[in-house]
Structure 1
C-alpha cells in the first residue's frame, strides 16, 4: 500500500513518461528509494538525496543540490520545500491538514505555533509557485483562503483510483459481514465514532464487525487501549495489508465507511467504489464533491446518523446495488492520464509565460 501522496507521485511520473515527448525530467528521490524505480523513458533519470523532510538541511543543502541540477522548472509534489531554489516552481497542495487540524500528540501551544509557522510557509510557497496544483476544488478554496494565493494560479488535478490487479488474497476474519475502513488512525479520521456506530449494529447482529486495514500507528495503538473487551470483539485491526489483501477486503466488504472530518480528496473511498464496494461517507469537506451521488452520506459528528447510514446500506440490497453501480461509474470518471495532462499544461504555462499564472482545469462534477 502506498500513501495517497506516494501513489499520486508515482502515477504522475508513470503517465508523464508516456505523454511528454518535449521535456527531460530528473526525479529527485530519497537515496534509499532510487533503486526502487526504473525509468521507462530515456528522457527520465533519477537523483538521490539524503535530505530529511522538515529539516534545516532542506533549506540549505537540498536547495544547493537542486540549484546544481540547473532545472528550468521544479515541481514539488508536496509543499515541503526550500524557500529558494533558483528556478520557477510548481507545487502540489494535497490538503491543509497541517493548518486546520490540531496535532493532539503535541502540547496545545506547540501545536498552535506549528500551525502559525506552517501557514506562513505555505503562503510563501504558494506565492512563489507559478502554478499551485490541488486535488479537489475544495482543496483549492482552502488554499486560497489560507494563503491568499491568486485564484488564477490554482489548477485542479484530480487523482484517480486504478483497480488492483494482483490476485485477491484472503484476510482471515471472524465476521460473517464486515464494514471496512482503510487508512491511518489519526483522530480527525474519526474512527472512534465509526467504532461506536458499528457496536450499535452489533447490538442487533453480532455477526457484523468492523475491519480497520492499514499499519497500526501510535494513534491506533492508543485507540485500541480505550476499547473494552466487548468492543474489541467487534473490531479487527489488520495492520499492514498487501495490495492483494486490500483487493480482497474491498471485494468482500458489505460496505466501506469513510467517517473522516477532513480530507483533501478521499482516495480510499474511490478505490472501494472501483472494486464494487458500496460506500457510506462523511458529508464533510471535499467528499461530496469527489463521490457525487455514488455514496450514502452522514454527519460525521453524529454517531446516530452514521449508524443509520450503515443500517440503510446493510439492510437494503437494492440501495447497496445502486451504490455499487454508481460507484463504479464514478470511479471511472477519474483518470491518472487526465491528471498528468493537466499537470503538463501547468508545466508548459509556467515555462512559457514567465509569470504567476496557469490554466484552471475542470474535472468530474
Structure 2
C-alpha cells in the first residue's frame, strides 16, 4: 500500500469506539510530520512514523493530524503547516525526524532525535546537510518541550552536544512489527526466493549501502572464509552515499560470485528474507538504535553485530558482538554460528525472547505519556 493510500485511510485517527466510557478521555490532538513517508521505499525514520500511525490508530488516546505529505518542499513545513495546525486545533506538534518547523507555530513541540552520528563523523554523510546540522536540529532541540530518543546512547549524545538537561529527554525504544515473527508460508518463501533469485543458503545484511553501515568489514570477513565453505551474502538496501568503494571491494576481494545486491525490499517480503537467512550481519560503525537487529531476532535468525553506538543496548546478550572494524572476529563468529547448531539454537531463542520485549504498542503508549506531560505542563 502506498503512503498516500495509507494516510488516506488513516485520516484523523480517532480513539477506538470499543473503549469503555470510564476509561475514555478526549484524545490528545497531535500534529505529526509525515514527510518521512514521502518515499515509497520508506526505511528508518519512515518505518518509525508508519508504525506509530498504525499503533495510534489502534488506540492509545491520540488523534493525529498528519502534515507534510503534499506541501511544497520549502514553504510547506514553515508556512502552510502552522496554518493547517491551527485549523485542526492541534494541541502539540511532533517532529519525528530530528526537526520541528523553524517558524513559531504557537504550539508546544516534541521532537524525536534518532541519532547524531553526523556531528562526530560528517565524512559518513553527504556534504549538503549543513543547514540541518547547524540550524534546524539545534533549534529544534532547544525549541522542543520534550525530546524523544530511541536509546540511551542517543540521549547521552543529545545532552552532550546541545547541553540539554536529562529531564527533557525520554528514551522510548522502537518496536518490531509482528509480521517478522509470523512464519512465512511455503508459497511466500518460494515467491520471495524467486523474486530475488536467492540461493538455498545465504547470510543477510540489511541497510543502505553507505559508509556508516560498514559493508567493507563484512566483505573482508567474507573473504577470510575459504570459498568452499563460504555462504553467499545478500545485501538488502539501495545504493547510497559513497557506495562506490563497496562495489570496488567486491571486485578486489574476488567476491563477485559470493555477493548480490538486491536493492530495497519492504513488506511483505522483508520478514521472509530474514527468516530464510542463515544469519544476519550488522557491523555498523554507529547506530542510534539498530532496527534490523530486532527484526532478525523476531524472525528467528541469529545476529552478528558490532558493539558500536546503541547496538549493545538493543541486542543485549542475544547477538554475537564484535568491534566494528574487526573483520577477523566477524569471520570467526560467522564460521562458529554456521557450524555450531547448539550455539545457533541458543542465539535464536535469546533473540526471540529479546524481540518480544520491544513492541510498537508499548512505544505508542510511552509517546502518549510524553504528549500528556507536555500539554499538562
- Scaled by the length of structure 2, the TM-score of the pair is 0.79
Question: Matches of 1:259 and 1:210 in 2, distance apart?
Answer: 14
| 2:159 matched residue in structure 1 | 144
Q: Is the 8 A contact 1:199 1:234 kept in 2?
A: no
Q: Is the 8 A contact 1:101 1:188 kept in 2?
A: no
Alpha-carbon spacing, 1:242–1:335, altered in 2? closer, same or farther (3 Å): closer
| 1:361 matched residue in structure 2 | none
Question: Matches of 1:174 and 1:57 in 2, distance apart?
Answer: 43
Q: Secondary structure at the match of 1:238?
A: strand
Q: Which moved more, 1:78-87 or 1:187-196?
A: 78-87
Question: Matches of 1:100 and 1:69 in 2, distance apart?
Answer: 39
Q: Which moved more, 1:232-241 or 1:272-281?
A: 232-241
Deviation at 1:310, TM superposition (A): 1.3
2:56 aligned with 1:16, yes or no? Answer: yes
Alpha-carbon spacing, 1:140–1:104, altered in 2? closer, same or farther (3 Å): closer
Question: Matches of 2:308 and 2:59 in 1, distance apart?
Answer: 35
1:110-129 superposed Cα distances (whole Å, 9 cap, x missing partner): 77xx28x6155423212221
2:324 aligned with 1:305, yes or no? Answer: no
Q: Is the 8 A contact 1:190 1:259 kept in 2?
A: yes
Structure 1 stretches lacking a partner, 5+ long: 32-49, 354-365
Number of residues of Structure 1 aligned to a counterpart in Structure 2: 326
Q: Is the 8 A contact 2:172 2:363 kept in 1?
A: yes
Which of 105, 129, 132 does residue 85 from structure 1 map onto?
Answer: 105
| 1:97 matched residue in structure 2 | 117
Q: Is the 8 A contact 1:119 1:146 kept in 2?
A: no
Alpha-carbon spacing, 1:142–1:243, altered in 2? closer, same or farther (3 Å): same
Deviation at 1:245, TM superposition (A): 3.0
Q: Which moved more, 1:253-262 or 1:195-204?
A: 195-204
| 2:251 matched residue in structure 1 | 228
Alpha-carbon spacing, 1:29–1:225, altered in 2? closer, same or farther (3 Å): same
Alpha-carbon spacing, 1:122–1:29, altered in 2? closer, same or farther (3 Å): closer
Higher relative contact order (CA 8 A, sep 6+): 1
Alpha-carbon spacing, 1:64–1:118, altered in 2? closer, same or farther (3 Å): farther
1:211-235 superposed Cα distances (whole Å, 9 cap, x missing partner): 1012333544552244327221110
Q: Is the 8 A contact 2:94 2:100 kept in 1?
A: no
Question: Matches of 1:106 and 1:184 in 2, distance apart?
Answer: 13
| 1:158 matched residue in structure 2 | 173
Deviation at 1:91, TM superposition (A): 0.7
Question: Matches of 1:94 and 1:145 in 2, distance apart?
Answer: 15
**Root mean square deviation, CA, Å:** 2.4
Deviation at 1:98, TM superposition (A): 3.2
| 1:322 matched residue in structure 2 | 346
Question: Matches of 1:139 and 1:105 in 2, distance apart?
Answer: 18
Deviation at 1:171, TM superposition (A): 2.4
Q: Is the 8 A contact 2:56 2:63 kept in 1?
A: no
| 2:193 matched residue in structure 1 | 171
- Scaled by the length of structure 1, the TM-score of the pair is 0.82
Q: Is the 8 A contact 2:281 2:304 kept in 1?
A: yes
Question: Matches of 2:220 and 2:95 in 1, distance apart?
Answer: 39
Q: Which moved more, 1:210-219 or 1:222-231?
A: 222-231
Where has structure 1 moved over 6 Å in runs of 4 or more? none
Structure 2 stretches lacking a partner, 5+ long: 1-40
Alpha-carbon spacing, 1:104–1:279, altered in 2? closer, same or farther (3 Å): closer
